[in-house]
Amino acid sequence: MEITDDTLEDTQILTINFGPSHPATHGTLHLIAKLDGERIAEAEPIIGYLHRGKEKMGEHLKYNQYLTMTDRMNYLSPALNNIGWCLAVEKLMGVDPPPRAKWVETIACELARIMDHMVCNGINAFDIGAGTVFFYMFQQREVITAIFERMTGARLTITWPRVGGLPYDVPPDFKDQVRAFLNGFYPALADCDNLLKNNRIFMDRTIGVSPITADRAISHGFTGPCLRATGFEYDLRKREPYLCYDQVDFDVAVGTNGDVYDRFFVRMEECRQSVRIIEQCLAKLPDEGPFAVDDYRVVLPPKEKVYTEMEAMIFHFKLVIDGLKPPAGEIYRGIEAANGELGFFIVSDGSGKPYRVKVRSPCFYIYSAYPELIRGLMISDTVAVLGSLNVIAGELDR
Amino acid sequence: MKKHLVAPHGLPETPYRPTAETEKRISTHLANYPTKMAATLPVLHELQEEIGYLTPDAIAYAARVTETSVTHMYSVATFYTMFRLKPVGKFDLQICTNTSCGLTGAGDLVRHCEKTYGVKPGQTTADGRLTLHETECIGSCGSGPCVQINKDYYEWMTPEKLDDVLNGLFQGRAVGRPLPTVHIEPTPDRVVYKDIEKNLVSIDRYIEHGGYETLKRALAMKPEDIVNEVDASGLRGLGGANFPTGKKWKFLPKNYTGPIYFCINADESEPGTFKDREILRRLPHRLIEGAVIAGHAFRATDAYVYMRGEFYEPYRVFQQALDEAYARGFLGKNIAGSGFSLDLKLHRGAGAYICGEETALLESLEGKRGEPRVKPPFPAVQGLFGCPTIINNVETISQVPAIVANGAQWFRARGTEKFPGTRVFCVSGHVNKPGLYELPNGTPLRELIFDWCGGIPAGRALKAVIPGGSSMPVLTADLAMKVNLDNDSMFSVGGSFTGSGGVIVMDDQTCMVGFLARLIKFYEHESCGQCTPCREGSAWARKILYRIDAGGGRPEDIDTLKAIAKGIDGNTICALGEATAWPLASFVRHFESEFAEHIERRGCPLKAEPAGVV
Amino acid sequence: MTENKTITFFVDGKPVTAPAGAMVIRAALDAGAVIPYFCYHPALKPAGLCRMCLVEIEGFPKLQASCTTPVTEGMKVHTDTARVEQARKDVLEFYLLNHPLDCPICDKAGECQLQNYTFAYARQNSRYREGEKRRYNYEDLGPKLFRDMDRCVHCLRCVRFCEEIVGDDNLSVFKRGNETDISIFGSAVVNEYALNIAELCPVGALVSKDFLYKARVWHLKKTETVCASCATGCNIYMESKDQVVQRITPRVNPEVNDHWICDFGRLNFKHINSSQRIHESTRLEDGVPQVLEMDDAVRRLAGILAGAPADRLGLLITPEATNEEIFEFRRLAEQVLKCPHHAYGLVPPEEGKLDFLRSRDKFPNSAGARRLGGLSGLGFDGLRILEMAEKGELEVLLMIYPHSVSKHPGGEAFLGRLAAALAQVQTSVVIDYLQSKVSGAATMIIPGLTHAEKNGTMDNSKGITQKLRRAIFPSPDQLSEQEMLIRVSTALVEKRAGVTLSASDPR
């Protein structure tokens, strides 16, 4: 049914609060919806419920301490945020981590991407009613969190890596653990596909729901799977390769209509491509070598040295107390996070703390299109759309 | 670093008073300098000689009488090796274990004493009659190994001879004099050592042989003329830096009306050098004559001879010569009726090689720790007591009478264009005839070693030569055979310098690692400690070298040693930095394979067991 | 000679003007060059010992120590060439050889020059493999300074300071070479400026025993303020953490105190949190002190002052007060109360200096009190008020900072007399921050603020007006003396004019 301006004058418009505390708004997302019956006449998202002042905090934390902030932005794939931050600071400092660090970070990025997509799609499916898929996907995510736990000590807020490389080496069975995951992942993904791809209910619920053209998406500032689902092939891993992406082969998943269905299966395909990337990385990851840049002005010296050599003691001390000091200047660096282009704009004044940090969070722009996407849709559709956009409050609000 | 000390609360009377005689001598010392503080070293010497060591009461007395402070006295006393704050045994046996004596058997002497008397260096026998010390170069390298027992030098020592001497001393027997001493070769046409064998110690004998004639003539000349003559002669400083003497004299400010000081550097402590001692104790009047002529040339008002403290015998002889010269009117007011006055006083050092550095010498003369000053300002502008000062070596000044008597051209007839004249070369180490050889500059080094000194004993081959005192880069045997004893040849062919003229010869059984280790230990011991590269670098290099010598060397040590040398060279306040860095760099560079082998074999490749570094 | 002649020379290619005779390091630093140094200090004679300030000067074959090289016309100095970098690396390596790994326990960490230079210039790997580092014996230097000789970099700033600035050889150098030991012989380091050495020492070899292990320096908040211990008014930083002053350090002011402060002033912050602080307003009721709210106390004060005839009122303040407080006091006394018996101090202060920094006058604001009190000459004439009180001629006596009366020459006696005189006064009010015999005898006490807790200005002995800045915050209901006096004045004026402010009076 068409919504016109007159509709809004209609006294039967019901204004409701959708969230911020609602099981279907994943994270603290608040929507003031004006309903005409079951349909959305107009919607106004209110953001900021999870705003923790992370950009302001950046002015008071040292560069490595900021990883505790980035962990908690897109908390479904913290490795991607952290690596994005580290890459930005490294570019500002003119520091290049050694190959081993870069390969491990590439693997971590792709694992994190899979993690993110598993949650996004799993919950999206769950909201639509497909509970089994939810559990299948979260089971795979569990395996990945176990890998991260083994590698970094934490499942969710990993505070890993560091500017200049990895803080410590990966465990000796890292490759085996990742391979074991890959072996179990394809079948699981195939299962989920089988359950949903040609599922009548799922298709009815998702095909044609909130389509968006590529132009419109770009004008909103979409990046990531939401943009690629519209048919526009834009992936920073291909356009401006970083880490080891220029040394591996992979395809970019692209949709056609940009609707919920396309967004869902673009993510599924991206997971498959991630597996491809990880397999190549595992083959090319050198078994030995330094895992951080050999400069104690950036990276902490090894502990045995700190306790026995004066220079190392002083470098450790100054790095911890003053922090690493990039030269004064500014930098913007974006990476292809799970949701799209995650960018960090850092202004350094030469001291151990940034002068200004600005985070370009991908889902901020995506979520700004939400009212347009759900206009005229029924409430239950809004849930499906929201799930497909993968709006994560931590990243949205910072 | 200047000190203008104020005794904070006045100093009380002390319970200690020296004997009347000592007090009289102390008063003389106090009157010898424009400040009372400058008498610090002589006063401490007097007190130590009377008591045996410096007691707290003696120190308090010294502080009071010099109007300084107890802190100052301790600060100075702990700087100089000769001052003792604790008593020693009746006979203080100091065995030189430095370069040349080390090469000729000092190590055996030490081990013999350890075994025979049951004491290690630094310890005193239970009955208190003997204290054993290892010491640094005492300036008698050509008759080594040498020891000093209390005030006397005993040269050409072997374990048996040492036992003889000690037994004699223990039993109170007088030692037979004269003691065997260094050989002086009667080379032709000597200038510095002319007539040295004729015993011209007394002024009458000196005058009989033409002494002081040139002085009378010189005093009638215009000072500028003397300066120009010396400048034209091309005479160079013979203490180590080889700086043109006339040029140095010309650095003094013109038309200066205040005091101009003249310091004669008799601190002779450069290992391998032992030439000035002979002038001081055999030809003191030649030095005095040269001093007066030089003083007249650059209008000096006061002069001091800074003599190293260990030279007890030269001190006695020279002091007597000074008294004679004063008595005859060759020193003091209106010398020989010329109207020129010059006071020349003797000042003894107290055991610090660094006081041979000219600004450290000035600090020590002023009664402080011998810490070199930063230059600029240079001594010719601001030196002793803040006044313009010239510092020259003993041998340099001893050349002056002959130059003034015979003229610059005569002097230039021998030697080379850039390094004219003759000088006394000191040869020690592994040669058949070590000793003092006055020869023209430019003489080939191989001629000195093989013709004059009779070559290497025991049929061994030459391995290395230090050509100018231990601070100069070492020469391999190859290079030694090619260089002449002048700085052009020495530098362009050998990369070294003639320095102080101390030639140390090493044969093919000498372990370069052990030798260098002991040498660097010398520099570590003598570093004044003011600036970091020398203070820390010398100790670090010494630790590494001793570790390598004992068999604990590591492959990276060679690069580290080279880096240490590079880190010290050029980064220090005074030339002691270069003096440490040059031997360190040159030994490691020229004998790198031996060092590497020593490290790999975990011991000296030349000996069955690790080299017992002295 | 060359008076006031400036010359031009070049630092890293840029032309720089400097006075003739200046050292290269001073001129280069002033022009913005970065040159590391340990032994150089602008207030001490150049020594050239540490070899960190080596620069390349065209025409000189060896690197030169910029602190002992005077500038000459057209000289070309380079501070950033490869040779200079290498020299800094090499010299630093030597410093670090024997330096103990004390950073985690060393007080100097965070303001340590060795740390800063190492991070900026040094090799990052140590080549020292000889095991033990050089150790010195522990020595106690007395109650002021803590010595850890292992950390010493032998810059001799401490010894030179004692010689050149203080004029004694308390600290001296002993032994030589690698064993060089900087120590005292016999007595402790007892001069009145010894704690300046704790700042001078570029590393943690000599640290203040008072500050030892109290706080890490990067936790300290530095407030620029002025010392209130005597009329010199040295410029200081009060460094506080969590609203407690941890230490005081000097601030450079060439006109007042150059680089130094005396030890007395440096340690004069213990009273802020002492048990002698007056924290509450109290009023004696039948001999028993009753606690009052601050607002109440101030209102009562206004009432007390209004209740007595002007010629039976006495008002006494001391030069402990800031200019603002003196101003308000004078307005209250002259304009509002029109009371002839008010004074800014009991007797004229002592003149002259004890030594190069410390004044004989222990009040921080004698000059300001005179200026703002409108006094000509030196005169403080409060003695007459004391005498009136003793004779019972006063009904009301208000005293501000009476504890500081002991700073007058002969002060302790005055304190006793004043306390005794209060028996002859019907109502005596004390505004002060420290208890004293006088506050013990007064009928009403209102707590005041120390100099660390308020803003204001004070005039030093040279007549320079300097700002006092609040370093720590007092409790929220605490009024400053200035505020108290304003309120009292306002209340009295209103009463006379019959005017009252609206009910929403923020007070």
How far B305 CA lies from chain C's nearest CA (Å)?
24
CATH number, residue B383: 3.40.50.11540
In a domain, B389, yes or no: yes
* Among candidate residues C80, C98, C132, the one where a domain is terminated: C80
Is the Cβ pair C115, A318 closer than 8 Å? yes
Is the Cβ pair B571, C51 closer than 8 Å? yes
More confident call, B388 vs B14: B388
CB atoms within 10 A of CB B272: 29
CATH number, residue C51: 3.10.20.740
Q: Please report the pLDDT score of residue A10 as a whole number.
A: 62
H or E segment and range at residue C6? strand C6-11
Is the Cβ pair C93, B556 closer than 8 Å? no
**Is the predicted pLDDT of residue C505 greater than 70, yes or no?**
no
In whole angstroms, what is the distance from residue B31 CA to residue B340 CA?
Answer: 21
Q: Any contact of C with B, at least 3 CB pairs below 8 A?
A: yes
Q: Looking at residues C190-198, what average pLDDT do you find?
A: 89
Q: Please report the pLDDT score of residue A6 as a whole number.
A: 64
Secondary structure string (H, E, C) spanning B42-68:
HHHHHHHHHHCCCCHHHHHHHHHHCCC
Is the Cβ pair C124, A321 closer than 8 Å? no
Q: Tell me if residue A152 falls in helix, strand or coil.
A: helix
Q: Please report the pLDDT score of residue C289 as a whole number.
A: 87
Q: Looking at residues A171-180, what average pLDDT do you find?
A: 94
How far C475 CA lies from chain B's nearest CA (Å)?
47
In whole angstroms, what is the distance from residue B175 CA to residue B164 CA?
Answer: 10
Contact A185, A136 (CB under 8 A): no
pLDDT band at A12 (very low <50, low <70, confident <90, very high): confident
Q: Looking at residues A155-160, what average pLDDT do you find?
A: 92
Could you tell me if B366 and B267 lie in one domain? yes
Please give the sequence-ordered ranges of beta strands (E in DSSP) within C251-395, or none if there are none: 281-285, 288-292, 313-317, 342-343
Contact A43, A33 (CB under 8 A): yes
Q: Mean pLDDT, chain B, as a whole number?
A: 92
Using N-to-C axis directions, what is the helix angle for B56-65 and B40-51, rounded to 10°? 150
Q: What percent of chain C has pLDDT over 90?
A: 66
What are the backbone angles phi and psi of residue A250, rounded to the nearest 5°? Answer: -160, 160
In whole angstroms, what is the distance from residue A20 CA to residue C144 CA?
Answer: 62
Q: Looking at residues C243-262, what average pLDDT do you find?
A: 94
Give the number of domains in chain C: 2
How far A237 CA lies from chain C's nearest CA (Å)?
35
Scanning A320-349 for CB atoms below 8 A from C yields 321-322
Could you tell me if B326 and B385 lie in one domain? yes
Q: Looking at residues C432-456, what average pLDDT do you find?
A: 92
Q: Please report the pLDDT score of residue C1 as a whole number.
A: 47
Q: Mean pLDDT, chain C, as a whole number?
A: 90
**Is the predicted pLDDT of residue B8 greater than 60, yes or no?**
no
pLDDT band at B464 (very low <50, low <70, confident <90, very high): very high
Tokens of C462: 């040279």
In a domain, B55, yes or no: no
Could you tell me if B323 and B470 lie in one domain? no
Strand C6-11 versus strand C76-78 pairing type: parallel
In a domain, C348, yes or no: yes
Tell me the pLDDT tens digit for each residue of B336-365: 889 999 999 999 999 999 999 999 999 999
Q: Please report the pLDDT score of residue B424 as a whole number.
A: 96
CATH number, residue B575: 1.20.1440.230
Scanning C153-182 for CB atoms below 8 A from B yields 153-154, 156, 160, 163, 167-170, 172-180
Query: Which residues in chain C have their CB less than 8 angstroms from residue A313's CB?
Result: 101, 103
In a domain, B45, yes or no: no
| Neighbouring chains to C with at least 3 Cβ pairs closer than 8 Å | A, B
Could you tell me if B487 and B525 lie in one domain? no
Could you tell me if B283 and B383 lie in one domain? yes
Size of interface B-C (CB pairs under 8 A): 134
Q: Any contact of A with B, at least 3 CB pairs below 8 A?
A: no
Query: Which residues in chain B have their CB less than 8 angstroms from residue C40's CB?
Result: none
Q: Please report the pLDDT score of residue B5 as a whole number.
A: 36
* Among candidate residues B507, B528, B554, the one where a domain is terminated: B507
Q: Please report the pLDDT score of residue C502 as a whole number.
A: 46
Q: Which of C44, C83, C94 to mutate to test the interface with B (most CBs of B within 10 A)?
A: C94
In a domain, B294, yes or no: yes
Tell me the pLDDT tens digit for each residue of B550-567: 999 999 999 999 999 999
What residue in A sits closest to C97 (Cα-Cα)?
A: A310
Tell me the pLDDT tens digit for each residue of A39-79: 898 999 999 999 999 999 999 999 999 999 999 999 999 99
The ipTM estimated for the assembled molecules is 0.90
How far C98 CA lies from chain B's nearest CA (Å)?
8
Could you tell me if B303 and B204 lie in one domain? yes
More confident call, A11 vs A281: A281
| Of A295, A336, A290, A324, nearest in space to A312 by CA | A295
CB atoms within 10 A of CB C238: 26
**Is the predicted pLDDT of residue C501 greater than 80, yes or no?**
no
Tell me the pLDDT tens digit for each residue of A311-329: 999 999 999 999 999 999 9
Give the number of domains in chain B: 4
In a domain, B529, yes or no: yes
How far B8 CA lies from chain C's nearest CA (Å)?
6
Tokens of B312: 């007890």
**Is the predicted pLDDT of residue C413 greater than 50, yes or no?**
yes
Could you tell me if B249 and B293 lie in one domain? yes
* Among candidate residues C57, C80, C103, the one where a domain is terminated: C80
* Among candidate residues C80, C104, C119, the one where a domain is terminated: C80
In whole angstroms, what is the distance from residue A136 CA to residue A116 CA?
Answer: 14
Q: Looking at residues A106-135, what average pLDDT do you find?
A: 94
**Is the predicted pLDDT of residue C480 greater than 50, yes or no?**
yes
CATH number, residue B469: 3.10.20.600
Q: Please report the pLDDT score of residue C138 as a whole number.
A: 85
* Among candidate residues B482, B507, B532, the one where a domain is terminated: B507
How far C448 CA lies from chain B's nearest CA (Å)?
42
In a domain, C177, yes or no: no
Query: Which residues in chain C have their CB less than 8 angstroms from residue B554's CB?
Result: 129
Domain housing B564: 512-601
**Is the predicted pLDDT of residue C345 greater than 90, yes or no?**
no
In a domain, B337, yes or no: yes
Q: Looking at residues C304-311, what average pLDDT do you find?
A: 88
Could you tell me if B281 and B360 lie in one domain? yes
Q: Looking at residues C483-495, what average pLDDT do you find?
A: 88
Domain housing C8: 2-80
Strand C206-208 versus strand C221-226 pairing type: unpaired
In a domain, B72, yes or no: no
Is the Cβ pair A315, C119 closer than 8 Å? yes
In whole angstroms, what is the distance from residue C328 CA to residue C456 CA?
Answer: 12
Could you tell me if B231 and B249 lie in one domain? yes
Q: Please report the pLDDT score of residue B305 as a whole number.
A: 96
Query: Which residues in chain C have their CB less than 8 angstroms from residue A296's CB?
Result: 124
Tell me the pLDDT tens digit for each residue of C30-84: 999 999 999 999 999 999 999 999 999 999 999 999 999 999 999 999 999 999 9
Cα angle, residue A217 at apex, residues A215 and A218 outer, rounded to 5°: 65
How far A279 CA lies from chain C's nearest CA (Å)?
37
Cα Rg for chain A, rounded, in angstroms? 22
CATH number, residue C435: 3.40.50.740
CATH number, residue B139: 3.40.30.10
B11 Cβ under 8 Å from any chain C Cβ: no
Cα angle, residue C249 at apex, residues C245 and C253 outer, rounded to 5°: 130
Tell me the pLDDT tens digit for each residue of B60-95: 899 999 999 888 999 999 999 999 999 999 999 999
Is the Cβ pair B1, C156 closer than 8 Å? yes
**Is the predicted pLDDT of residue A100 greater than 70, yes or no?**
yes
Could you tell me if B461 and B579 lie in one domain? no
Query: Which residues in chain A have their CB less than 8 angstroms from residue C115's CB?
Result: 314, 317-318
pLDDT band at C137 (very low <50, low <70, confident <90, very high): confident
Could you tell me if B236 and B313 lie in one domain? yes
Q: Please report the pLDDT score of residue B3 as a whole number.
A: 35
pLDDT band at A183 (very low <50, low <70, confident <90, very high): very high
Q: Looking at residues B492-513, what average pLDDT do you find?
A: 94
pLDDT band at B12 (very low <50, low <70, confident <90, very high): low
Q: What's the whole-model pTM score? A: 0.90
In a domain, B31, yes or no: no
Could you tell me if B249 and B378 lie in one domain? yes
Tell me the pLDDT tens digit for each residue of C269-283: 999 988 999 988 999
